[in-house]
Amino acid sequence: GDSVTQMEGPVTLSEEACLTINCTYTATGYPSLFWYVQYPGEGLQLLLKATKADDKGSNKGFEATYRKETTSFHLEKGSVQVSDSAVYFCALRGEGANSKLTFGKGITLSVRP
Amino acid sequence: DGGITQSPKYLFRKEGQNVTLSCEQNLNHDAMYWYRQDPGQGLRLIYYSQIVNDFQKGDIAEGYSVSREKKESFPLTVTSAQKNPTAFYLCASSVNRARRNTEAFFGQGTRLTVV
């Protein structure tokens, strides 16, 4: 079945550092890929998405490119801020008509001033 | 404003009691979902519904029940049969589950604690 693997965390960075959070997936065909963010005590918010190979999703300075050849969707940001501290989830929705949204385990990012 | 409302935000339950978590959306979405979140385990799907009066079990449905009598509402009951109910519960909705490129919108969650 479909699965999403995220790098182990937590991750702690200083403000203005570069961020990369790795995400790889297993799915048949061409799934849609998503990054969600969860701030403390809240639900998940969609950060960005990509629906076909080589698409780049971007939002709030974050970017991720759908790499079919490496089955990856790594999240990147050139300069993180304290306000980016949150839990980040990679997710996919498969091609099938009744496919579900499958999440990775999430990774906690802490940015210190 | 359109969105998903979960209530209550915090809920305490005694062992052996059933408890119902509320989820209401005004986004006119057909599909609704319940997830359970535990530390280090990501989100696990409990139940989902694609249309009124229809719902299906997810990956961890045992000890839970749902109903979908109205498009806007998808309440989750945590029964006494759920052996480890303490968790953060998230409700979500989407335009249509069959449309693979549509994202899910989430509520703010309910933290259930068994005392």
Residues 17-56 of A with CB under 8 A from B: 31-32, 34, 36, 41-46, 49, 51
Look at residue B98 in the predicted model and tell me its pLDDT.
61
| Percent of chain B surpassing pLDDT 70 | 94
Look at residue B115 in the predicted model and tell me its pLDDT.
86
**Closest chain A C-alpha to B68 CA, distance in angstroms:** 18
Type of residue at B20? T
How many contacts does A have with B, using Cβ atoms within 8 A? Answer: 56
DSSP string, B65-97: EE--SBTTB--EEE-TT-S---EEEEEEEES-T
- Residues of chain B scoring pLDDT < 50: none
Residue of chain A whose Cα is closest to the Cα of B38: A105
Contacting residues for B60 by C-beta, under 8 A, at least 6 apart? B36, B44, B45, B46
- The pLDDT tens digits along chain A (113 residues) read 889 999 888 999 999 999 999 999 999 888 999 999 999 888 999 999 999 999 999 999 999 999 999 999 999 999 999 999 999 999 998 876 667 788 999 999 999 99
**Closest chain B C-alpha to A108 CA, distance in angstroms:** 10
Considering only CA atoms, which of B41, B47, B49 is closest in space to residue B88?
B41
CA distance B5 to B15: 26
Q: Around Cβ B49, how many Cβ atoms within 10 Å? A: 21
Residue with tokens 């980016």: A84
Look at residue B1 in the predicted model and tell me its pLDDT.
64
Q: Around Cβ A29, how many Cβ atoms within 10 Å? A: 9
